[in-house]
Structure 1
Amino acid sequence: MEHLDLQVIKQGLQWLESGRQIWLCTVLTTFGSAPRGPGSMLVAVPSGENCGSLSGGCIEDDFLDRLKLGQFAAHNQIVRYGDGGLQPTMALPCGGVLDVLVERFEPERSSIDHFRSLETALVGRDRLSRTINLKSGSRTTGPHGPTGRSVSRSGEDVTIILGPVRRLIVAGLSPVAEFCAEFALALGYEVIICDPHPERLIKASALLPNAKLIEVLPAVFIAQGGCHAATAVVALTHDPRLDDLTLMESVRTDAFYIGAMGSSKTSLKRMDRLERIAGLTTQDMQRISAPIGLHLGSKTPAEIAISVMADILRVGNGIDRAAL
């Protein structure tokens, strides 16, 4: 099944190519409880046909009703749902507040080219930034690094980051690895578990039906192009034969996060091995988070997995550890 963002962009492109005017909505900010986060998208036409989601349904219905009445004629505008928002003020069932960017696209070459560039980013390996000027109506796109928040605003410019769905490569199965995979799936990550032991994969398939399980050495999968810039790699087995090879291959990729489980003492020994045997440089080793995760006093496999995923989120969102 295609990721929802890709479905939205493909549908919008199809409508534009068929000569239809479309509206693209993007959640910019949320306050309080909200069903979906910043970057969530919906595309619609005045007839009420739509694809995507901004909330649990209440916002979509209201937006489509207003669209049919011609209330979103401007090319680019930000509207607020919730307290202090569109009149009559619409209180959301969750009690939250959402700011939504509403863009109108005409069925012309510039719009089609813009949507094609967004489609390319979503099916490719690199992230793309699109900047919308609320005053002039201009839209520009450009490459973006592997980390950073999905939405930001500076004056009249709104910048939205799109790219491939974040991927978690789990190098070898263990109790901590299983919890990491489960949490990552809940966060919307594409989860790929690589383990050369078929009996472990059979057991995990029942626990993690939405993960992709591959009977292969993790290092082999990574060496064959398994990582892109939106990939996090975690080695959580305590098996040097699996973990060390995984780290050696991972530092040769654009993965935004690479981590290995182990105590401080174990991690120092591992780094020494990687320097001596694999010839990793200081810069290479600085890319490896070891010991992995945030220091939360975690003891159980589930607690350790939470600390790991929290650190991946921190790095992915561009938050410095000192800012926590």
Structure 2
Amino acid sequence: MITPVLSEALRWWYAGESVALATVTATTGSAPRPPGSVMLVAPDGTATGSVSAGCVEAAVYQLCRRVLDTGEANLSRFGDTDEVFGPGLTCGGEVEVYVERVDRAAVAEFDQLCAQVRGGSPVAAVTCVTGPAVSRGRWLLVDDGAGVRGTLGDAGIDAVAARAGRELLAAGRTGLVRPVPGVSLLVRSFVPPPRMIIFGASDFTAALARQGRFLGYRVTVCDARSVFTTAQRFPDAAEVVVDWPHRYLGTEVDAGRVDHRTVLCVLTHDPKFDVPLLRLALDLPVAYLGAMGSRRSTDDRVAQLRAVGVPATALARLSAPIGLDIGARTPEETAVSVAAEIIAAGAGRPGGRLTIGTGSIHPTSHTAAATLGRSAGGEPQREEEVHPVLEPAQVPAGQLLDPVDPVPQGVDVHM
């Protein structure tokens, strides 16, 4: 599925116009948006996307307008500031943003990138941020096989860029990496949305399918009862399948369509479906596995799974009863409970109330994969000798932001 930012960029690209693209390359501390977050500024001044929670948006917007005018890319860091009108992160974090101009001349392969993303094929776009003059600003497209499109202008840099691109693409990560001295590369990974497979065809399923789609999952609903399992009942599902749950899951596993990002939610609430399905699912390295039921039915289900040989270590991976304890009763409330537990599990958080917790609200750092994007201390690696235009620099308060008119009047901003 193509994103609004890519769609807007492609529209201007086909029109022969230039846009400015701002990409978050790394964050530290309590930064609001992860690497890969993007904002586009079009030649008519409209903005699409977001790189923060709003605290540096106007400053990045002005930086994008500057890059549109000059064509010179820029890599800047925005950090904490005590200035009322300063373009900093009031949350105490730090965000690094790379801004470049994108058009037919700069990125001849942009339409090919969008075609791959629209078709659901994994692809990484690798941009040379610092390095030889012939390479700076050029793009290379790398897929998850052996395919490479475009060039960074140097065969050696192309080779290391392809390796870096595939490594981050395999992890589904975006970040600024330094594979060899003197060269830094921005790797943007575009992967198909993760799957959420919901077993059972009830009102709870319909509510959870809506939540799953909202969170960016490709939702599949599966149930063996054809009278209940219809596309009309589950309009938010990409697929509605009539089949025995364990048989369908086995088919998807054999076809390679279940991976470490997949979420499995068992809402069938019937032992004849639950037990054979969970017996198979508990052997899979999926992101999350939960099953609906009361505490009594959960205990009965666990006893049946133990009776068919499922070990305690596997049962410990099962979230049952499914969801966080928020007092949910309706299908919609239950869907929020389940979605919250899925998010918490993915972040390694317990899911408690922030108001009674301590420590960082967000993960303490968002960078590229460990072997490519981190130094020993956990900070994003940065170029020691860089082209002056691209030198990472702390943006002082007031340098980019006019407090009287932070966004020009009449400009349409789409977040």
- Structure 2 unmatched runs, 5+: 101-127, 129-136, 139-151, 358-415
Report matched runs for 1:73-84 at 5 Å.
73-74=73-74, 76-79=75-78
Structure 2 residue matching 1:77: 3-state secondary structure: strand
Counterpart of 1:208? 235
Report matched runs for 1:38-117 at 5 Å.
38-42=34-38, 53-54=49-50, 62-70=62-70, 73-74=73-74, 76-79=75-78, 99=95, 101-102=97-98, 105=128, 106-107=137-138, 108=152, 110=157, 114=161
Counterpart of 1:313? 343
Give deviations 1:134-189, integer Å, cap 9, x for gaps: 99764598xxxxxxxxxxxxxxxxxx987542321101112212111111112222
Counterpart of 2:274? 243
CA gap 1:237/1:50 in 2 versus in 1, 3 angstroms = same
Q: CA deviation at 1:260?
A: 0.4
Question: What is the letter of the counterpart of residue 211 of structure 2?
Answer: F
Pick the aligned partner of 2:329 from 299, 304, 315. 299
Q: Normalising by structure 1, report the TM-score.
A: 0.66
Structure 1 residue matching 2:219: 3-state secondary structure: strand
Question: What is the letter of the counterpart of residue 178 of structure 1?
Answer: A
Counterpart of 2:315? 285
Q: CA deviation at 1:215?
A: 2.0
Percent identity, aligned pairs only, is 22
Structure 2 residue matching 1:170: 3-state secondary structure: strand
- Structure 1 unmatched runs, 5+: 15-19, 92-96, 142-159
205-214 or 176-185, which moves further after superposition?
Answer: 205-214
Pick the aligned partner of 1:232 from 235, 258, 263. 263
Relative CO higher for 1 or 2, CA cutoff 8 Å, sep ≥ 6? 2
Counterpart of 2:249? 222
The count of aligned residue pairs is 282
Counterpart of 1:252? 283
Partners of 1:116 and 1:213 in 2: CA distance: 38
Alignment partner of 1:25 is 2:19: no
Counterpart of 1:17? none
Partners of 1:197 and 1:137 in 2: CA distance: 57
8 Å Cα contact 1:172-1:237 kept in structure 2? yes
Q: Normalising by structure 2, report the TM-score.
A: 0.53
Report matched runs for 1:152-171 at 5 Å.
163-171=191-199
Counterpart of 1:127? 171
**Higher Rg:** 2
8 Å Cα contact 1:127-1:163 kept in structure 2? no
Alignment partner of 1:198 is 2:226: yes
Alignment partner of 1:261 is 2:292: yes
Pick the aligned partner of 2:211 from 178, 183, 206. 183
8 Å Cα contact 2:78-2:87 kept in structure 1? no
Give deviations 1:47-92, integer Å, cap 9, x for gaps: 8999973279986864541212348644x43347x9969xx9679x
Counterpart of 1:157? none
Structure 2 residue matching 1:69: 3-state secondary structure: helix
Question: What is the letter of the counterpart of residue 97 of structure 2?
Answer: L
Q: CA deviation at 1:116?
A: 8.5
Partners of 2:272 and 2:228 in 1: CA distance: 17
8 Å Cα contact 1:42-1:53 kept in structure 2? yes
CA gap 1:79/1:137 in 2 versus in 1, 3 angstroms = farther
Give deviations 1:103-142, integer Å, cap 9, x for gaps: 66332164697479658976xxx5344553699764598x
8 Å Cα contact 1:244-1:270 kept in structure 2? yes
Structure 2 residue matching 1:244: 3-state secondary structure: helix
